[in-house]
C-alpha cells in the first residue's frame, strides 16, 4: 500500500537548490569563523597584556620583599658554613621557608599560569587565521 503512495509522492516537484547555495553556506561559516577568531584575538591579547603587566609588577614587589627578608643571608650561609648547615638542615630549610614571602609567590604563580593560558589561546587564534579561506578554497577543488 505504501509503495503506492511512495510512487505518488515521487511526483512531487520540490524546489531545486540554487547552485550557489553550497558556496553561500561555506562563506557564512567562513565569516563566522573569522568573527570568532577576531573576538578571540581581542580577548586573549587583552588578557595577555593585563597578566604581563601584573607579572612584571609582581616580580618587582617580590624582589623588594626578598631584599628585605633574610633569605639572601640564609642562602649565603649555606655556602660559607656548609658543614654546620647540613648538620641542622631541617631547621635551616624551615627558616628559609618562613622567610620567603609565600603569599606573593602564590599570587605570582597564578598570574604566570593565566599568562601562559592567554598566550596559548593567542597563538591558537593566530594560527586559526591561516586556515581562513579554506572553505572557499575547498570549493574550487
Partner 1 sequence: MEVQDFELIQRYQKGDEKAFHELVRRHLTAVYRFVFQFCGSESEAEDIAQDTFVKAWKNLAKFDLQKNFRPWLFTIAKNSALDALRLKKGLPLNFFDNEEDDISELEKVPDVEPLPPEVLDRKTLADDLKRALDLIPVTQRTVLVMHYLDQMTFQEIADVLKKPLGTVLSWHRRGLLRLKDFFA
Residues contacting partner 1: total by CB under 8 A = 28
Q: Nearest approach, Cβ of 10 to partner 1 (angstroms)?
A: 8
CB of residue 37 vs partner 1: minimum separation in angstroms? 14
Q: Based on C-alpha coordinates, what's the Rg of the chain?
A: 32
The site map against partner 1 for 117-136 (x = CB under 8 A) is --------------x--xx-
Tell whether residue 67 is a contact of partner 1 (CB under 8 A).
no
Q: What CA–CA distance (Å, rounded) separates 125 from 136? A: 19
Between 15 and 79, whose beta carbon lies closer to partner 1?
A: 15
List CB contacts of 51: < 8 A, sequence separation 6 or more. Answer: 111, 114, 115, 118
The secondary structure element, H or E, covering residue 139 is: helix 134-140
Q: Is 4 helix (H, G, I), strand (E, B) or coil?
A: helix
| In the complex, minimum distance from the CB of residue 116 to partner 1, in angstroms, rounded to a whole number | 23
In this complex, which beta carbon is closest to partner 1, that of residue 109 or of residue 123?
A: 123
Residue 140 interacting with partner 1 (CB under 8 A): no
- Cα–Cα distance between 85 and 119 in angstroms, integer? 42
Q: Which three cell numbers stand for residue 4?
A: 503506492
* Cα of 59 vs its chain's centroid, Å: 21
Q: Does 10 bind partner 1 (CB under 8 A)?
A: yes
- Where does 16-101 have alpha helices with state H? 21-68, 71-80, 82-87, 89-99
Shortest gap between Cβ of 47 and partner 1 (angstroms)?
Answer: 22
Q: Which residues bind partner 1 (CB under 8 A)?
A: 1, 4-15, 17-18, 21-22, 24-26, 28-29, 32, 131, 134-135, 138-139
Amino acid at each position: 500500500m505504501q509503495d503506492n503512495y511512495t510512487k505518488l509522492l515521487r511526483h512531487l516537484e520540490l524546489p531545486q537548490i540554487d547552485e550557489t547555495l553550497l558556496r553561500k553556506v561555506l562563506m557564512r561559516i567562513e565569516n563566522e569563523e573569522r568573527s570568532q577568531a577576531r573576538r578571540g584575538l581581542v580577548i586573549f591579547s587583552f588578557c595577555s597584556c593585563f597578566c604581563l603587566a601584573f607579572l612584571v609588577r609582581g616580580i618587582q614587589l617580590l624582589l623588594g620583599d626578598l631584599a628585605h627578608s633574610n633569605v639572601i643571608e640564609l642562602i649565603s650561609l649555606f655556602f660559607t658554613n656548609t658543614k654546620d648547615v647540613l648538620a641542622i638542615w631541617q631547621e635551616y630549610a624551615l627558616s628559609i621557608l618562613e622567610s620567603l614571602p609565600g603569599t606573593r609567590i602564590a599570587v605570582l604563580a597564578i598570574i604566570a599560569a593565566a599568562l601562559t593560558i592567554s598566550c596559548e589561546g593567542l597563538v591558537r587564534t593566530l594560527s586559526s587565521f591561516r586556515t581562513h579561506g579554506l572553505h572557499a578554497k575547498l570549493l574550487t577543488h
